[in-house]
Amino acid sequence: MELLPQILFGVVLLAGIGFFAKNVKTLRRNIKLGKNVVVSDNKPLRWRNMARIALGQTKMVVRPIAGLLHIIVYVGFIIINIEVLEIIIDGLFGTHRIFAPLGVIYNFLIGSFEILALLVIIAVVIFWIRRNIIRLKRFIKPEMQGWPKNDGNIILYIELVLMLLFLTMNGADFQLQQMNVAHYTHAGSFPVSQYIALLFEGLDVSSLILIERTAWWLHIVGILCFLNYLYYSKHLHILLAFPNTYYGRTTPKGQFSNLESVTKEVKLMMDPDADPFAAPVENENDTPPEKFGASDVVDLNWVQLLNSYTCTECGRCTSECPANQTGKKLSPRKIMMDTRDRLEEVGKNIDANKGEFKEDGKQLLGDYISHEEIWACTSCNACVEACPVSIDPLSIIMDMRQYLVMEQSAAPSELNNMMSNIENNGAPWPYNQMDRINWTQEN
Amino acid sequence: MENVLKVPTMAELFAAGKQPEVLFWVGCAGSFDDRAKKITKAFVKILNKAGVSFAVLGTEESCTGDPAKRAGNEFLFQMQAVTNIEVLNSYGIKKVVTACPHCFNTIKNEYPGLGGTYEVIHHTQFLRDLVSEGRITLEGGKYKGKRVTYHDPCYLGRANSIYEAPRELIKKLDAELVEMKSCRKKGLCCGAGGAQMFKEAENGDKEVNIERTEQALETKPEIIAAACPFCNTMITDGVKNKEKEASVGVMDIAELIASAQDL
Ligand code: SF4
Ligand code: SF4
């Protein structure tokens, strides 16, 4: 009988972690649906970027208010997780406040957790107000309707409830300690929850224990649920921000990668010694000619897919986007959200069809992202610069342009004119190459 | 006072067995566009005045391929790139200066992977170096005390992190540099990049260049300085649209310097 709570706890913990592991597996599988790119350069710089941008939140504070509030919630969450460790040990071994012998240090820790919890509550409330009362422009764009909007609020509610449970648990514990109830050793300092304890004055021991235990259980079960909510939510960024900033670009933002498959063909065309009748050099396995650019998620590379899962839907990219600012349909955030939604759809399709993707007649380009969006981009890199977690929406836009132009010849006609001018005259306008130096003679 | 421009071509120098200090990559806009040609000439005047040994490719120069690449035509881009690289390499070019941030970005960042590695410098960096080496002097000219705001071209600023060279030059002219509300890393695009220059914009409620021009005009400038021929065109159009062309000039940094010296 004594052991029952411990066994129950073990089961809940295992279920929570097991389900999470399953989600992580799906996540990995989906990301690996992307094309392979090797990212092995510049390791020291990559670690530094991760430390600076993900851990150090340097990009968040570009917008000071949101940045500061975010840091509070972020630090709060990381630090309060030390408390979760204690909860897990207590839960498994039937102990109570196992770290209490740390004495002064313990008091200090619990005290600072409480203050952080209070700060988190304040930050979360302000966040909620920004989203729902002030209705900041970037949170009410068209792509934020429905689930994304609810998701943003649900996260705030969960965080609020978790913090309140934590404080309630401590408040009841504090009250029990005051009453010298056995098992409730005097430990910890309770700068915040001592005020909650005031509400509990006059309650008998068994009700107090009931409150304390309920809060304790709900808190830890809540955390496990939250852990499993991540996969379905923009909140996944709390984990993926780390790999994503590591794998983020380290080259100048203006440098777009050169398509290797094209290089091979161009070299062959330009090489006067090439034998036009020579059998094409093939890899061992007869691969079909590579598709240029991207029309669906599997044409993107895995870093781009990781990007899509990492997106926090904060809309900083979109609010800096010149196209979006001037009322065009393009929103770089939507590019990332669409990519993730389509990737999820492909993943579910694979799960439903015993590990094989069954053609569903849909693709990212056209069914999710319109041509109009793709062509509205000025390639200005404002979105890339603005993203606090090193996401590159521009690279996806450019890959789709490549598909439209090289596979579909579907460029807007003015661009076709521009390109044929370059082809024929070596300039985007219909001028004669031989007139290129005439400016030296003109006044 | 129209001086005769001295613009040697690589072919001429090569025939004479000479190698210039630097190749001036003029670019398509700089060669053909009426507004941009003025920038090209202003820059050449400064080069002549400072006695810089340079050359242009002239008719051997061809589009870098930037607009093709940003439009998604990687084939055309690489064809252009490989052709240009062949010419540049055949002359043994080591150092390239250009007044166009798009040419700058493409040659600097995208040509090396295709066999063309050069030291590539934007003209604002080049001019700053000329100033710091004392080869040209700027102080106390006709821009003293004038309100100048500077528009960061995306392909110079965010794309390549060059924010200070043009600003240093404006300050050297003793002008009063006033910043727009979005500048440097947060600078708003003029609307021309990504091959937008060559097409109509998608449906929206405003043109990007108008938005940017409004931001510039908010600073109450006498001059809006640019460092890119495309930005220059876009903002010039914006200023015209706002009917402010009589009171607000749109000028390239090279033009500011050349006219400050009455070149
Ligand atoms: S690069 Fe394209 S999508 Fe990104 S901010 Fe600029 S215009 Fe918008
Ligand atoms: S791409 Fe980056 S900036 Fe844009 S919404 Fe996602 S996380 Fe925010």
CA pair distance A374, A397, nearest whole angstrom: 6
pLDDT score, position A5 = 87
Same-domain pairing of B155 and B97: no
B207/A326 CB distance under 8 A: yes
Same-domain pairing of B152 and B200: yes
Q: Which residues of A336-364 are buried (b: 16+ CB within 10 A; e: fewer)?
A: bbbbbbbbbbbbeebeeeeeeeeeeeebb
User: Rg for chain B (alpha carbons), in Å?
Assistant: 18
A426/B208 CB distance under 8 A: no
Q: If you measure CA to CA, which chain A residue comes closest to B199?
A: A414
Question: Which of A326, A400, A420 should be substituted to probe chain B, the one whose Cβ sees the most B Cβ atoms within 10 Å?
Answer: A326
pLDDT score, position A211 = 95
**A378 Cα nearest atom in ligand 1:** 7
pLDDT score, position B1 = 43
Dump pLDDT digits (tens) for A353-363: 999 999 999 99
Q: Which residue has the tokens 């002097």?
A: B137
Q: Is B134 left (phi over 0), alpha (psi -120 to 50) or beta?
A: left
How many residues are present in chain A?
443
- Flag whether B101 is in a domain: yes
**Adjacent-strand bridge partners of A389:** none
Of A50-64, A283-297, A390-404, B4-18, give the lowest mean pLDDT range.
A283-297
Q: Which residue range forms the structural domain that includes residue B65?
A: 10-128
pLDDT score, position B139 = 74
Spell out the domain ranges in chain A: 4-32+81-232, 260-274+290-425
- Flag whether B60 is in a domain: yes
Chain A residues 80-99 within an 8 A CB cutoff of chain B: none
Chain A residues 41-80 within an 8 A CB cutoff of chain B: none
Q: Could you tell me which of B33, B18, B95 has the C-alpha nearest to residue B63?
A: B33
Same-domain pairing of B163 and B200: yes
Task: State which of A311, A330, A334, A396 you would mutate to test the pocket of ligand 2, scoring each by most atoms of that ligand within 8 A of its C-beta.
Answer: A311
CA pair distance B89, B86, nearest whole angstrom: 5
- Flag whether B248 is in a domain: yes
Same-domain pairing of B78 and B145: no
pLDDT score, position A83 = 86
DSSP state of A201: T
Q: Are A57 and A237 in contact (CB under 8 A)?
A: no
Q: Which residues of B198-235 are buried (b: 16+ CB within 10 A; e: fewer)?
A: bbebbebeebbbbbbbebbbebebbbbbbbbbbbbbbb
CA pair distance A248, A409, nearest whole angstrom: 31
Q: Which residue has the tokens 């204690």?
A: A86
Last residue of some domain: B100, B128, B156?
A: B128
Same-domain pairing of B112 and B213: no
Same-domain pairing of B61 and B81: yes
Interface predicted TM-score (ipTM): 0.94
**Adjacent-strand bridge partners of A35:** A301
Tell me what the pLDDT averaged over chain B comes to.
Answer: 94
* Residues 6 or more apart in contact with residue B86 via CB below 8 angstroms: none
- In this prediction, residue A1 has a pLDDT band, given cuts at 50, 70 and 90, of very low
Q: Could you tell me which of A25, A11, A19, A4 has the C-alpha nearest to residue A225?
A: A19
Rounded to two decimals, the pTM is 0.93
Q: Which residues of A244-253 are buried (b: 16+ CB within 10 A; e: fewer)?
A: bbbbbeeebb
Q: Are A174 and A193 in contact (CB under 8 A)?
A: yes
A380/B193 CB distance under 8 A: yes
Tell me what the pLDDT averaged over chain A comes to.
Answer: 92
Widest CA span in chain A = 100
Same-domain pairing of B144 and B118: no
Q: Could you tell me which of B68, B88, B35 has the C-alpha nearest to residue B230?
A: B35
How many residues are present in chain B?
263
Q: Are A374 and B70 in contact (CB under 8 A)?
A: no
CATH of the domain at B160: 3.40.50
Count CA atoms closer than 13 A to B153's CA, side-chain side: 31
Residue A402: its chain B contacts at CB < 8 A? Answer: 72-74
Summarize the confidence of residues A264-276 as an average pLDDT.
75
Cα B154 to ligand 1 centre (Å): 11
Helix axes A237-247, A302-310, angle to 10 degrees: 140
| pLDDT score of B191 more than 70 | yes
In this structure, which ligand is nearest to the CA of A333?
Answer: 2
pLDDT score, position B86 = 95
CA pair distance A371, A364, nearest whole angstrom: 11
**Adjacent-strand bridge partners of B58:** none
Q: How many helices (H) and strands (E) does chain B have?
A: 11, 8
Dump pLDDT digits (tens) for A123-147: 999 999 999 999 999 999 999 999 9
- Range A260-274+290-425: architecture per CATH: Orthogonal Bundle (1.10)
The residue type of A355 is G
Same-domain pairing of B149 and B88: no
B196/A378 CB distance under 8 A: yes
Same-domain pairing of B53 and B156: no
Same-domain pairing of B59 and B26: yes
Report the number of distinct structural domains present in chain B: 2
Cα A387 to ligand 2 centre (Å): 5
CA pair distance A346, A35, nearest whole angstrom: 15
Helix (H, G, I), strand (E, B) or coil at B205: coil
Q: Of all protein residues, whose CA lies closest to atom 8 belonging to ligand 2?
A: A314
Dump pLDDT digits (tens) for B55-95: 999 999 999 999 999 999 999 999 999 999 999 999 999 99
pLDDT score, position B33 = 95
| pLDDT score of A51 more than 90 | yes
Summarize the confidence of residues A64-85 as an average pLDDT.
88
Residue B162: its chain A contacts at CB < 8 A? Answer: none
- In this prediction, residue B126 has a pLDDT band, given cuts at 50, 70 and 90, of very high
Q: Are B123 and B94 in contact (CB under 8 A)?
A: no
Residue A268 distance to chain B (closest CA, Å): 11
Cα A148 to ligand 2 centre (Å): 13
| pLDDT score of A285 more than 70 | no
CA pair distance B233, B34, nearest whole angstrom: 10
Nearest Cβ partner of B159 from A254, A292, A437? A254
- In order, the DSSP letters of A16-45 are HHHHHHHHHHHHHHHHTTSBP----S-HHH
CATH of the domain at B28: 3.40.50.1860
Chain A residues 311-330 within an 8 A CB cutoff of chain B: 320, 322-323, 325-330
| pLDDT score of A349 more than 50 | yes
pLDDT score, position A278 = 57
- Flag whether B92 is in a domain: yes
- Between A122 and A77, whose confidence is greater? A122
Summarize the confidence of residues B101-111 as an average pLDDT.
98
- Flag whether B5 is in a domain: no
